[in-house]
């Protein structure tokens, strides 16, 4: 899947992924392009749907305790319309669900939950629905990642993948401002008005302050003041997701790894850093005992190469306990017309107990 973008469009799209909060003038300064060129290209990319804007809520700083996941194989003999019906029911009713990727044969769901009990309940509700309708034959595989003991190395960050695919020199890369904080002991409380504005900012990431204020019945000044405050307190950060077509992505790989007893995040740090720097990783989340990883790949041969060398590195270093579970999803095929969905609106609404 070859990108249709020009050289300058590739540079601007990469910079938008790397620095999602910067203005066009700031991107121009870093990239060496003039502001008018960046602004023109940015507008063109946005109109073409080359990327979409998100705001990521740091719900762990507001009291959410863990990220959880479930992955599974569909019963190949199950009726596809029944599968779609069950999936749509889950999407409508699952409170903390923020990410799903669904192929014709496999699926992956991720939640952000207030506590372990809520997490287990959500997963079991989905599993029971699927089992009762015979669209899965085996129990779900589950993963629980408490924020207090979890290291989030990368979180739906496509900038390195875009850089690699477009052949952009690494020298112009700087530290990605969108790195998610692993965990902070300080918990933050929001007032009712702050909750309303916070949720509005997550739900409507493309709205300017004036438009959002009108939507919420709040002054533009209040929106602006609270927005700046949320960012300063690291309760929100910006994220841009690229169109897979524009950056040449054909496969999303999910990897669930278990590590040897006694192994730690710190022990694996050199291997992990090499992995993140040399392979198309968009998400990497780990505890001492287990990890989940998402890779965005441009071909099956790239997947085979990544699996061979990356798995080899971890095995040589003595980290891997057993062969990891791997799920492959084609970006051209999906069960419900949407291969890859990331949206924090539902989880934010559930946790803050607010809706608009």
Query: What pLDDT shows up at residue 49?
Result: 93
Prediction pTM value: 0.92
Tens digits of per-residue pLDDT, 325-347?
A: 999 999 987 665 567 899 999 99
pLDDT for 2 equals: 59
Length of the chain: 356
pLDDT at 333: 76
Residue 312 to residue 317: CA distance in whole angstroms: 8
CB 292 within 8 A of CB 143: yes
Low-confidence ranges of the chain (pLDDT < 70): 1-3, 171-186, 334-338
- The predicted pLDDT at position 187 comes to 78
According to the model, what pLDDT value does residue 356 have?
73
| Token pair 């890859």 in the structure block, residue | 340
d(CA 222, CA 218): 7
């Amino acid at each position: 899947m070859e990108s249709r973008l020009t050289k300058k469009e590739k540079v601007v799209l990469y910079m938008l992924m790397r620095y999602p909060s910067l203005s066009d003038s700031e991107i121009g300064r870093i990239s060496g392009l003039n502001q008018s060129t960046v602004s023109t290209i940015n507008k063109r990319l946005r109109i073409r749907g080359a990327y979409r804007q998100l705001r990521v809520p740091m719900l762990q700083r507001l009291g959410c305790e863990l990220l959880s996941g479930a992955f599974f194989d569909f019963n190949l003999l199950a009726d596809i319309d029944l599968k779609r019906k069950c999936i749509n029911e889950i999407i409508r009713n699952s409170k903390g669900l923020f990410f799903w990727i669904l192929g014709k044969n496999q699926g992956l769901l991720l939640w952000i939950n207030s506590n372990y009990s809520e997490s287990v309940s959500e997963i079991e509700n989905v599993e029971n629905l699927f089992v009762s309708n015979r669209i899965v034959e085996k129990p779900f595989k589950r993963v629980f990642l408490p924020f207090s003991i979890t290291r989030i190395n990368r979180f739906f960050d496509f900038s390195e993948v875009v850089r690699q695919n477009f052949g952009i020199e690494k020298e112009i890369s700087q530290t990605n401002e969108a790195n998610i904080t692993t965990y902070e002991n300080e918990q933050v409380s929001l007032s009712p008005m702050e909750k309303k504005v916070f949720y509005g900012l997550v739900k409507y990431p493309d709205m300017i302050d004036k438009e959002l204020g009108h939507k919420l019945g709040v002054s533009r000044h209040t929106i602006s003041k609270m927005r700046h405050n949320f960012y300063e307190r690291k309760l929100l950060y910006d994220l841009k997701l690229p169109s897979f077509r524009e950056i040449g992505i054909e496969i999303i790989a999910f990897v669930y790894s278990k590590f040897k007893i006694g192994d730690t995040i710190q022990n694996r740090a050199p291997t992990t850093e090499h992995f993140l720097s040399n392979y198309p990783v968009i998400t990497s989340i780990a505890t001492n005992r287990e990890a989940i990883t998402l890779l965005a790949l441009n071909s099956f041969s790239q997947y085979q190469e990544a699996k061979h060398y990356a798995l080899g590195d971890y095995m040589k270093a003595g980290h891997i306990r057993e062969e990891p579970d791997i799920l492959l999803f084609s970006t051209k095929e999906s069960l419900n017309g949407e291969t890859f969905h990331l949206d924090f609106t539902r989880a934010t609404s559930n946790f803050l107990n607010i809706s608009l």
